[in-house]
Amino acid sequence: MVGNVQVGGDALPSVQSMTNTATSDPQATLEQIQRLADAGCEIVRCAIPNKEALEGFEQIAKASPLPVVADIHFDHELAIEAARRGAAKLRINPGNIGSMDRVDEVIDAAKEAGIPIRIGVNSGSLQKEIDKMDIPLSEKLAKSALAFVEHFENRGFTDIVISAKASNVREAIEAYRLIAQETEYPLHIGVTEAGSTFAGTVKSAVGLGTLLEEGIGDTLRVSLTADPVDEIEAAYEILSALDIRRNRAEVISCPTCGRCQVDLIDIARQVNERLDEVPQHLKLAVMGCVVNGPGEAREADYGIACGKGSGILFAHGEPLRKVAEEDLVDELFTEIAGSC
Ligand code: SF4
């Protein structure tokens, strides 16, 4: 459990992100956490780079609507202190904490606070002996993660989540596959340093999508060089593409072609922006023409198929009525509101 969020077991994969405001600024951070929560984020992580951030962290953890994970590198004392100041989970990379004795102190602090630890591994925080081996990075990541897990178990601590992130998608996939073969601990999946919104979403969709389709992954973060809220949208797109879970209605829209005589890109944008108004199990179609529109989108619950200056509103592949172009989006949502 991370706060009130179950990770692993029979729980669906949870969606998380990380704030990019200064943790020493609780007001700005809490505002961002609220935006993340509104977007459907379930667990949030804050960096604690120094002692000043600890003060902020305590206030954030107290007031946050989401469980807050303390993200610590290098300094085990910050981790110990974060556990005492309300962290719902600690994230450390044991490979960069300095020594396993220091890791043990962190383990003991988590035990005392009753909170889990994410054991993180990336190419910069491999177990030293394993790093020297002449094996692929994916194997180094998996072996390191499992070696750290064993250390935690020997210390009597099993409340753990594992992550083994690589920026190369195929290496990340392979590392997680290897770990999943060896252990049943919950896995936090992600592709690290994935990139800006477009490239990072595609990379994450390929990496996380492959893993999730294989049943691997209990909580996910899509790492983007962007507003963290974009990470939540991307995560849900990945989960909903695989029919695992969704947090809003699905929109299918045609790619447009020479038959299209309206600004369909703008119409699709408007529909996407108003999805909060409709039940999330619905599928809405936005089609550029009446020739193929309703037929192509037969599986949609509701949709619009545009013509020249007007369009047809349809439900389950059957036309309902003709509507002027400028009223199409409003009429679509009025129709749905009237039938739900
Ligand atoms: Fe072209 Fe019509 Fe198909 Fe859209 S629905 S791609 S406009 S044929």
Q: What is the CATH number of the domain that holds 98?
A: 3.20.20.20
52 C-beta neighbours (distance < 10 Å), count: 13
One domain for residues 292 and 171: no
- Report the number of secondary-structure helices (H) and strands (E) in the chain: 12, 13
One domain for residues 61 and 183: yes
Secondary structure of residue 96 in the 3-state scheme: helix
Nearest protein Cα to ligand 1, atom 6: 256
Pairing between strand 68-72 and 117-121? Answer: unpaired
Confidence of residue 20 (pLDDT cuts 50, 70, 90): very high
**Which of 214, 241, 268 is a domain's end point?**
241
DSSP states of 209-250 as a string? HHHHHTT--SEE----SS-HHHHHHHHHHHHHHTTS--SS-E
Protein residues whose CB sits closer than 6 Å to any atom of ligand 1: 254-257, 259-260, 287-289, 291-293, 296
Per the prediction, the chain carries an average pLDDT of 95
Name the nearest CA neighbour of 302 among 283, 321, 328, 289: 283
One domain for residues 286 and 305: yes
**Which of 219, 241, 263 is a domain's end point?**
241
> Residue 46 and residue 40: Cα distance in Å, rounded?
17
Ligand 1 atom closest to the CA of 297, numbered from 1? 5
What's the DSSP call for residue 156?
A: T
Distance of CA 38 from the midpoint of ligand 1 (Å): 34
Distance of CA 172 from the midpoint of ligand 1 (Å): 38
One domain for residues 262 and 234: no
The 3-state DSSP composition of the chain as helix, strand, coil percent (nearest 5) reads 45, 20, 35
One domain for residues 197 and 328: no
Q: Given this model, what pLDDT does residue 238 score? A: 96
Q: Stretch 130-136: mean pLDDT, rounded?
A: 96
Nearest protein Cα to ligand 1, atom 2: 289
Pairing between strand 310-315 and 318-324? Answer: antiparallel
Is it the case that residue 167 has pLDDT exceeding 80?
yes
What is the chain's alpha carbon radius of gyration, rounded to the nearest angstrom? 23
At 180, which amino acid appears? A
pLDDT tens digits for range 172-221: 999 999 999 999 999 999 998 878 999 999 999 999 999 999 999 999 99
One domain for residues 328 and 187: no
Q: Stretch 110-126: mean pLDDT, rounded?
A: 96
**Is residue 289 assigned to a domain?**
yes
One domain for residues 202 and 233: yes
**Is residue 9 assigned to a domain?**
no
pLDDT tens digits for range 54-108: 999 999 999 999 999 999 999 999 999 999 999 999 999 999 999 999 999 999 9
Ligand 1 atom closest to the CA of 305, numbered from 1? 5
Distance of CA 248 from the midpoint of ligand 1 (Å): 25
For the chain, the domain total comes to 2
Give the domain CATH number at 264: 3.30.413.10
One domain for residues 294 and 201: no
Helices (H), the chain: 26-39, 51-63, 76-84, 100-113, 128-131, 137-154, 169-182, 197-213, 228-241, 264-273, 293-296, 328-339
**Which of 194, 219, 241 is a domain's end point?**
241
pLDDT tens digits for range 326-336: 999 999 999 99
Q: Stretch 102-117: mean pLDDT, rounded?
A: 98
Is it the case that residue 340 has pLDDT exceeding 80?
no
Distance of CA 264 from the midpoint of ligand 1 (Å): 10
At 318, which amino acid appears? E
Confidence of residue 317 (pLDDT cuts 50, 70, 90): confident
Q: What are the CA-CA distances from residue 39 to residues 17, 35, 129, 232 (Å)?
A: 11, 6, 42, 7
CB 234 within 8 A of CB 206: no
**Is residue 301 assigned to a domain?**
yes
One domain for residues 233 and 306: no
Confidence of residue 309 (pLDDT cuts 50, 70, 90): confident
**Is residue 1 assigned to a domain?**
no
**Is residue 103 assigned to a domain?**
yes
Domain residues for 314? 250-339
One domain for residues 320 and 237: no
**Is residue 191 assigned to a domain?**
yes
**Is residue 83 assigned to a domain?**
yes
One domain for residues 232 and 272: no
Q: Stretch 240-264: mean pLDDT, rounded?
A: 93
One domain for residues 279 and 142: no
**Is residue 4 assigned to a domain?**
no
Q: Given this model, what pLDDT does residue 242 score? A: 96
Is it the case that residue 117 has pLDDT exceeding 80?
yes
Q: Given this model, what pLDDT does residue 290 score? A: 82
